[in-house]
Amino acid sequence: MTAHHAIEIVLTRPATDDELGRARRVVALASDTSRARLLALQRAKTPGRALHALRQRLDAVLPIDVLTTHHPDRQGQVLLNVALSPTVRTTVRRAAAARAQRPRDFLGQVVTDAVARHGEERARHLTSRLEELLVEHTPEELLLCTASTLLSHPHRRPRGKCASGPS
């Protein structure tokens, strides 16, 4: 059964008016204000085929960096479509063969590991910042300030001074 799949398009740079105009003649697109991220619907039997089809339709029109499925699949994964140079493709094939893996499985594991490392690094950074704050503030003050900030701005990252309590 053919379905519509929401595909996010991340560009290497913001699209020009001409590029967006040409792309919109090929497929209906929604753009964010930066014009570097777009959203499209693509009909296909599977999300992977949707990514492939959209890449074929838009590659010559837009400076595409990455295509991703906008919603996770049943396994909770988001699919990526990245165009690799012949040199990189060869390197990936060799590295995958050395591990007795398919190139797509090898790349999937490399990306998963990188995302995990990034998350761990962010957690370490946050812990370090909190430990610095605990030198001057009590845990109760930090908790009150955090809760107050998050409750007053539920849809954005907290920035700036604490809304209540000592600063």
pLDDT at 167: 42
pLDDT digits (tens, 9 = 90+) for 34-48: 899 999 999 999 898
Q: What are phi and psi of 45, to 5 degrees?
A: -75, -35
pLDDT at 155: 63
Show the domains of the chain with their CATH numbers.
3-83 (3.30.70), 88-152 (no CATH)
List the one residue out of 27, 23, 87, 94 whose CA is nearest residue 60. 23
pLDDT at 44: 92
Torsion sign across C-alpha atoms 20, 26, 32, 36:
negative
Q: Within 83-138, where are the H helices?
A: 86-98, 103-136
Average pLDDT on 130-135 reads: 94
Residue in this structure with the two tokens 């619907």, named with its chain if needed: 41
pLDDT digits (tens, 9 = 90+) for 46-103: 898 999 999 999 999 999 999 999 888 778 888 888 888 899 999 999 999 999 999 9
